[in-house]
Structure 1
Amino acid sequence: MRRTIRLLIAYDGSGYRGWQRQRQGEPTIQEELEIRLAGLCRQPVTLHGAGRTDAGVHALGMVAHFHTEAAIPLVAFSKGLNALLPKDIRILGAEEAPPDFHSRFSALGKTYRYDFCTGPVQLPGSRLYQAHCPGPFVLARLQPALAVLIGTHDFSSFERSGSRDKEATCGRGAIRTLTRASCVPVLGCAEHWSLRFTGDGFLRQMVRILAGTLIEIGQGKRPAAELTAVLAAQDRTAAGPTAPACGLFLERIHYAVPIFCR
């Protein structure tokens, strides 16, 4: 009997070229998982993720699914798979899913977190998980800009140049809806910050470009009032720099029906 299995996955992306399998054979999260799953199921496995993450980006709640006819218990896809995987990839949960479930197409939205440090010196242990953006940072400068981002907008200014055919007429283009945009200090420390964004979808490097732009605003390098004009420009050159990949975490994929009950 054909089964649909979905996995809840966390990974440290520091040593990988991102989620998606690469033609040139560079290490990726998808490939590592597919190799181990093929061994468990004794057949080739294609794993479908809820999205892609770039090289160096981490995940706390990636969801992926695959189909198999292997009659092995679910525990093999959690504890068993963890025993085979490198320590920087962990399966947090495995469960049977309805036949029509699709990790990507069934998703309603995602939450990303971007961590950064504004102190003059960054501790070595955090260099792979926080961007270092030294300089005075004032949260109050950021609040008006965060409010502007909430809602439905054309986010072309926050999309990696050349990542999409802008002449294409199918799809929704660069229109996305953000329902949350926030920034909070981490553990009350004034030099360590987390940005969070929840939306119905994100363009290529959108979160990193948003982060780079917002950090500039918080550091007084551009006014918050400028963000409205940046959105209206629909031009990548109007926004700030692309923040480093190391600070980005995919936190959660949102579905209409709760999964994994976490």
Structure 2
Amino acid sequence: MATQPSDAELIAGLQARVKELESENAKLLSQLDVCRSHEMEKKLHGPDGKGRECKGNMKSEDKIEKNTGYDTRFMSHHSKRYVALKVMYFGKRFYGFASEAQMQPTVESELFKAFEKTRLLVGDKKESQYSRCGRTDKGVSSVGQVIALFLRSNLKISAINIGNSGEVVSDEKLEGEIDYVRVLNRVLPNDIRILGWCPAPVDFHASNGFIIIHVCFDRFSCLSREYKYFFWNEKLNIPAMESAGNKLVGEHDFRNFCKMDAANVHNYRRHITLFEISPTDVRYNGNQLWVIKIRGSAFLWHQVRCMVSVLFMVGKSLESPNVIDVLLDTTRILRKPQYIMASEVPLVLQSCEFDDIKFMCSSDAGYALQSHLVNECQIYQLQATIFHEALLNCVPLSNDQSLLSFQGSKKKVSHVPLMSRPTEPSYEERRAKLNIVG
């Protein structure tokens, strides 16, 4: 006669069966998620992946669902890959790049809206291992910002698996992959564009080349960041500015050329590798547009705008080029003189350079990108023409005046020499105040 199983054995058997059912349910949910994703891909881009024609005059971008919210947990079983993206944005309407800013919109917030709208984001922002090469201020533009994060991949063959967050596609596999440039540019606003993408190693970190746990990988470090600052000549002493700017090259303590963040930054030494000042081919009303190019491994908060501000004082013959030497001597000048930074509008983050990161763009995406940028240039040229027409039709000046003489008769503001101005608290004074508060 067979013995009846004990209560403990029955419970153990039921628990094992529950685990089997949970495992089977998870597999079915994963298959359902894949089917939903394929269906969404067809809706977004058509069965051939090139996008469907829209009826009437509706643009192809308009057919993408307006509701951008979706539960990224349902994407967790998708293949994904770590991707570096090269980003261009015109900063005029943005409150800086980083989404931590209290004001909206920011460039970063618009990018993540696009990631969600295109169903490219796998998991939330934290799980995506997101990083950026820099965080430009309100109004600053870029043609070479670099970000990196995990994005959904079309490729199903995985190289490695990290926990339960989806399979990671190996770096070298490219054929059949999502055209990230084309897909994202179709939904991004007109003043943001992805210029290229590149598969990146999973330990790549766009800000400084190391992973979140701060273990350094020199191979993936950001080699340099380059900024350009555009300005009209307006009778500036360009040779004096060039002489002063060359003094910035090399490794120096730039605490007198930045907005000090004593709570988070304790080392103000930075290395400037290049300074150039040159004319562009743009002229207007007899005035030529010039550009300052500055390259370095890293920059402090507002450093470029502070350096340019002092250079303008030199160009206007208000300060000697030697004022740069004085401000760089932090053993002598312990407290930064108060002065206004140069405007943020002409500042452009030109490039962020890395080893082994070669950005690419498909021919279709490249053609669409170039067409868009040409169209934007034409729009701004048209706006400039309209303002020029207004200038020609404004109230006439008296007979003994001309537009050029009017420009040259701007009211001169009395200049207080930098070394005679009130000063800001020194780093040590700021730290002491923070320690008292803490």
Band the TM-score falls in, shorter-chain normalisation = 0.7 to 0.9
| 2:279 is equivalent to residue 185 of structure 1 | yes
Structure-1 separation of matches of 2:152 and 2:281: 46
TM-score (norm 1): 0.84
| SS of residue in 2 equivalent to 1:178 | strand
User: Do 2:153 and 2:178's aligned partners in 1 also have CA atoms closer than 8 Å?
Assistant: no
| SS of residue in 2 equivalent to 1:27 | coil
Letter in 2 for 1:165: A
| 2:304 is equivalent to residue 210 of structure 1 | no
User: Do 1:156 and 1:234's aligned partners in 2 also have CA atoms closer than 8 Å?
Assistant: no
User: Do 1:160 and 1:236's aligned partners in 2 also have CA atoms closer than 8 Å?
Assistant: no
> Partner of 1:32 in structure 2?
110
| 2:164 is equivalent to residue 97 of structure 1 | no
Point out the structure with the larger helix share: 2
Q: 1:99 to 1:17 in 2, by over 3 A?
A: same
Give the unaligned 5+ runs of structure 1: 120-135
Structure-2 separation of matches of 1:211 and 1:25: 26
- For residues 128-172 of structure 1, the C-alpha deviation after alignment (integer angstroms, 9 at most, x for no partner) is xxxxxxxx20111122212211100000001114x3337x65xxx
Structure-2 separation of matches of 1:254 and 1:229: 31
| 2:344 is equivalent to residue 245 of structure 1 | yes
Q: Which of 258, 262, 279 is matched with 1:164 structurally? A: 262
Q: 1:74 to 1:8 in 2, by over 3 A?
A: farther
> Partner of 2:245 in structure 1?
146
Give the % identical residues. Answer: 25
Runs of 4+ with deviation above 4 angstroms: 72-75
> Partner of 1:114 in structure 2?
229
Structure-2 separation of matches of 1:98 and 1:182: 34
Q: Which of 81, 92, 98 is matched with 1:3 structurally? A: 81
| 2:291 is equivalent to residue 194 of structure 1 | yes
Q: 1:222 to 1:202 in 2, by over 3 A?
A: same
> Partner of 1:53 in structure 2?
136
Structure-2 separation of matches of 1:146 and 1:21: 33
Give the unaligned 5+ runs of structure 2: 1-78, 156-175, 210-221, 362-438
**Deviation of 1:193 (Å):** 1.4
Aligned length in residues: 240
| 2:228 is equivalent to residue 228 of structure 1 | no
Larger Rg, first or second structure (1 or 2):
2
Structure-2 separation of matches of 1:234 and 1:17: 32
TM-score (norm 2): 0.51
Point out the structure with the larger strand share: 1
RMSD between superposed Cα atoms in Å: 2.2
> Partner of 2:75 in structure 1?
none
